[in-house]
Chain A
Amino acid sequence: MQVVEKQYDVVVVGSGGAGTSAAVAARDQGCSVLLVSKDPINCSDSKISEGIVTVRGSETDKDTETELSSNIRIQGDDIGRAEHARAFAEDSQSAYEWMRQQGLKPHFDESGKAKTLGMAMGGHTQSRSIDHANGGLDYAHALRQALTEKQNGHLDYMEDAWFLDLYVQESEQRISVQGGLIYHAADGVLVSVKAQAVVLACGGIGTLYFPHTDTMRGNTGDAYAIAARAGAKLVDMEQIQFIPFAAVNPPSHQGLIVGEPVSAGALGVIRDATGKVILSEIMARTRAECAAAIAQAVEEGRGTDHGGCYLDLTDNIQGASAEPFRYVMKTKAGSLLKVVRASMGSSAARFEVPWEVKPSAHYCMGGIATDENGQVFDANSQPIHGLLAAGQALGGLHGSNRLGSTSLAEAIIFGRRAGYQAAVSAPLNSGSDTNEKSVIEYYLSMLGRDGESYGIDITRALQKACWKFIGPARNEKDMSELKDSISQREQQLDDCHVSSSKYFNQSFIDVVEARNLLQCATFIVQSALSRKRSLGAHFRTDSRPDNLGKRPFSVQCFWESEGQLKIVHEDREASPVGARIKLRMQQGGKILMLKLLRHLPLGLRDKILIKKYAAAAGGLPKENVHEA
């Protein structure tokens, strides 16, 4: 395969919200930018998302930066970095304004103000989430518009392009990145690109759990594996967010999201296979709490044949509030109901029968260790010159639990910061050689290799094992077993068959991605083993959760030498006790209110619910309230 040389000021990897905004930010500083995307351009998790964006103050002026950043910190059990939460709170409005300029249009009220969802999404104490008519598609079209514009700087993009590895120069205890190697499958060449800075915005690891995931196929953990190979440190990799309610059947729908805690209505409950209620007042719970309840029941043998439980929303359609409930669901959760109808039938979509559900991998809250501008850190917490991360690739913002609708805001907030930072970082070249030659040689030597097994075999076997052992329920024994099997599979990978074809060489791509997946499995399993107690999304069946008074810490990892992963713990500052108690009490209050509601006389209960649903839907059509 031919190796083509190119030179840009900045290279950005990934073309979702984070990558696109980073590339545009660097271009606007006058840089020449190359945006690299392995999937077709902008076909990312941003595009397939629900398209709901956190914007501070979008509902009320009382919503302060402190309140938002404190929500993020405390709901994430304080294991994230305070600087990241603060940056998020500072920039959420300007990030959304930037998306507006690219053509994103929310729903407007009569005064021309953007409408919010009208309710606080999971983990927020304020209603501050803005939804869009076509969900993530609106968001993706805006990203595309940003790439279409003619501007001062120069922006090229390349799709069907796998970023393989970074070029690294090590000198005097300092690491610097000077570009990297790309497989451009559409042109059938390797592209060796030199740059003053590289932004990794290709986060996500959902495919490690396929088919138990609702994310894009391309989520093979490339950002984490590539950064770690260049000497970066990763944080909180044990914290994988599992959405609790995904379809179990048929195979083509497995893992797709069918509901959120907030869409369970006031009276939704989770039942085990025997019909016993295992969690109620779901509306006031986090994704992590719901997923853990299901995982626990399945672990104890009370799950369904498909390894799930039942989400029972039938109580919501018992009285006069039934039609308003259906209306809110249709207008606010229409895309979820489509999946329900297709996978479980129309009586399920009318809430007449319980839904069989199980958790599904959704988001990687851990990621590459950075400062609040996306500057990546090495094992010694020193900056790696010329390496930045943004979006899901970046770690340290969410801690152990991610608030609803924050990811689409986070993508732009940290994408723009990283893009700007990449543009202003001066080239640093000590004159010594980078590892360019050995990187190119490594990938070229793979081509045309004969072997019995293929990358896809390893990936499929790994996915099964990871779902079982580092999925929503984990324990010491299983994880230790997985750790051993990963190293066997890594050896197997070196003997895999790789064809020599130039254009879209699937066997090559599969081996490249399998390697990244295997390394990510190592990060996750070793981080998870090292966090002995359940915390947030990390749910262990063999220990109790930490108590509230314990000092929070972050689990971090990096390659000490080839094949040797080092795990360290870093203490974090806890949020003030008063703020933590206040937030827990607010949540407790919500649960109590929902409990009380369940026991009110039906007529009174309906009255309250209809009012609530009307507020959530921004008014109900007349035919839906005649019974009230």
Chain B
Amino acid sequence: MPDLPRKKVGLIACSGEERAEGTVTRRAVRQVLEKLRPDDTVTLCLPLFLAGGEGERAFARRYPTIAVDGCDERCAARATERYSARPAASIVVTEIAKESGSPDIGTARRLNGSGLRLADTAAARIAGETDRLLQRPRRRITEPAAAAGGCSCGSGLPQGTLRISGSDVRVAGLPIIFAQARERGLEPNAGTAAVLLETVGIYNEVPADRKQAWTDALIQGYAGFLEEKG
């Protein structure tokens, strides 16, 4: 059973297709998600900020984020700040490359050995920032590989649907949240609804003026989930 921790750090890679450093950001972020800090991180999708991903905006407003940029244009950091909230940390690959002396790292399509090593260094830096933001003691960066890391667009967090005020609303993480509540033996009552609402609010935008509607839908949805599971 996958677990939803109370707090995660959102990682936003610029993924810039014009520069090899953009590819380094992708590789470094995936490394943190898959191997270094799989339980503590999710990815936030940069283009979704503009394309209407309210889930990404909501997450970044409430939880710490690390922007990982390929160059000093800092698209990921600036987009996060513009559409949501200022990132808690910002990492720029060209700066790391300068420190580590990696002038030739390959192309955006194919990194060479130096590029791969640069991605390792950037990943270690991201993992360190994650520990700092979560106030965790620094850990060794070489840890066993875990399951694929979570992605806020839904690849890591399964989505469910709630019927809220007559409309179907996609809710990130809903099946896992319901499953965990069931595992804890929670009944579909007002107390449980408050817990569910708080957890759902980590991954979704719950408008302040619609909390009651969400609460009602969560109780109803959870009751249906329990019935289905027997």
Instruction: Answer whether A and B are interacting partners.
Output: no
- Which B positions have Cβ atoms within 8 angstroms of A? none
- Which A positions have Cβ atoms within 8 angstroms of B? none
